[in-house]
């Protein structure tokens, strides 16, 4: 069975950094697109970043230059390095598997909470 | 970016009655080469992660009850719950996956009893 388990969420001060991880099982992360999405408290869903099977990466404008997505094929994990965090980055962050390699998210993790506050 | 607009923001439906949620995209999601609409619907129950319900605008995900159906084409789409059950209380999101990222969501519709 496909399973995604995020970790790394924490309380961090504005301007700080944090690294999120997503452990995958039941499939190989390098065989498909993998995305990070987020949901601010009481708000809707936002796509954040994707890494393609071939390794190309894309980011939403609001995180471009601050966040970096990567994967570790040997560990079958996905990561999100978040730098220069701002209060508006406060959200539950989900990793998600892409079915079509084109933005259709068929499996989601349980999410990890990132709180940016002084 | 493709803007997705859902309506209504919330609705209350009696058990066994029909619930209808609308989603409008800022550009056509119909890809002419394969005649597919790149539109999905997700369900998010309280305290849970989103779950894929419908893709290609009208294809039901495996295991999703047949009371859920999707329709529409181009820029206008609808999610219908034909006979609302208590376990259907959730927020429903439409999402476009047309072309390259960013992939965008509607703001969500809260369905209550």
Give the CA count within 13 Å in the CB-facing half-sphere of B10.
6
User: In degrees rounded to 5, what are phi and psi of residue A60?
Assistant: -65, 150
Nearest to A44 among B52, B102, B108 (CB): B108
Percent share of chain B, pLDDT over 70: 100
- Most A CBs within 10 A among B29, B102, B108, hence the mutation to make, goes to B102
The per-residue pLDDT for A102 is 87
- Most A CBs within 10 A among B3, B4, B49, hence the mutation to make, goes to B49
Q: At residue B100, does pLDDT exceed 90?
A: no
The per-residue pLDDT for B79 is 98
- Read off the pLDDT of each residue in B13-23 and give the average, rounded to a whole number: 97
- A46 CB neighbours in chain B (<8 A) are 105
Structure-block tokens of residue B69: 């159906």
Interfacial A residues in 76-95 facing B (CB < 8 Å)? 94
Give the confidence band of B70 by pLDDT, cuts at 50, 70, 90: very high
- Read off the pLDDT of each residue in A68-91 and give the average, rounded to a whole number: 98
The per-residue pLDDT for B99 is 80
Q: Which of A61-70, A95-104, B31-40 has the lowest mean pLDDT?
A: A95-104
The per-residue pLDDT for A100 is 78
Per DSSP (E only), the strands in chain A are 3-7, 11-12, 18-25, 34-39, 45-51, 57-59, 67-72, 77-82, 91-98, 105-108, 112-116
Helix, coil or strand: residue A101: coil
Percent share of chain A, pLDDT over 90: 97
- A38 CB neighbours in chain B (<8 A) are none
Q: At residue A89, does pLDDT exceed 80?
A: yes
Nearest to A58 among B40, B42, B101 (CB): B101
**C-alpha dihedral (B49, B55, B57, B58), degrees to nearest 10:** -110
Q: Which of A25-29, A86-90, A108-112, B96-100 has the lowest mean pLDDT?
A: B96-100
Q: At residue A101, does pLDDT exceed 80?
A: no
Closest Cα in chain A to B109: A44
Inspect the interface and report whether the beta carbons of B101 and A99 lie closer than 8 Å.
no
How high is the mean pLDDT of chain B? 97
Inspect the interface and report whether the beta carbons of A100 and B106 lie closer than 8 Å.
no
- B98 CB neighbours in chain A (<8 A) are 103
- Read off the pLDDT of each residue in A89-118 and give the average, rounded to a whole number: 95
């Amino acid at each position: 069975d496909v399973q995604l388990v995020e970790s790394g969420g924490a309380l961090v001060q504005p301007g700080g950094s944090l690294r999120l991880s997503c452990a995958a099982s039941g499939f190989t992360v390098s065989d498909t697109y993998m995305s990070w999405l987020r949901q601010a408290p009481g708000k809707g869903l936002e796509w954040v970043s994707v890494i393609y099977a071939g390794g190309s990466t894309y980011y939403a404008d609001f995180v471009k230059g601050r966040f970096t997505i990567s994967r570790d094929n040997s560990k079958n994990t996905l990561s999100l390095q978040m730098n220069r965090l701002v209060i508006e980055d406060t959200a539950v962050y989900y990793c998600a598997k892409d079915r079509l390699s084109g933005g259709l998210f068929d499996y989601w993790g349980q999410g990890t909470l990132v709180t940016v506050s002084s | 970016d493709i803007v997705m607009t859902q309506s209504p923001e919330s609705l209350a439906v009696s058990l066994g009655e029909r619930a209808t949620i609308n989603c409008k995209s800022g550009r056509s999601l119909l890809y002419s080469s394969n005649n597919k609409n790149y539109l999905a619907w997700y369900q998010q129950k309280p305290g849970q992660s989103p779950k894929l319900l419908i893709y290609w605008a009208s294809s039901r995900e495996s295991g999703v009850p047949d009371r859920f159906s999707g329709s529409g084409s181009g820029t206008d789409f609808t999610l219908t719950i034909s006979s609302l059950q208590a376990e259907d209380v959730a927020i429903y999101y439409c999402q476009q996956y047309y072309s390259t990222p960013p992939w965008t969501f509607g703001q969500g519709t809260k369905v209550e009893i």
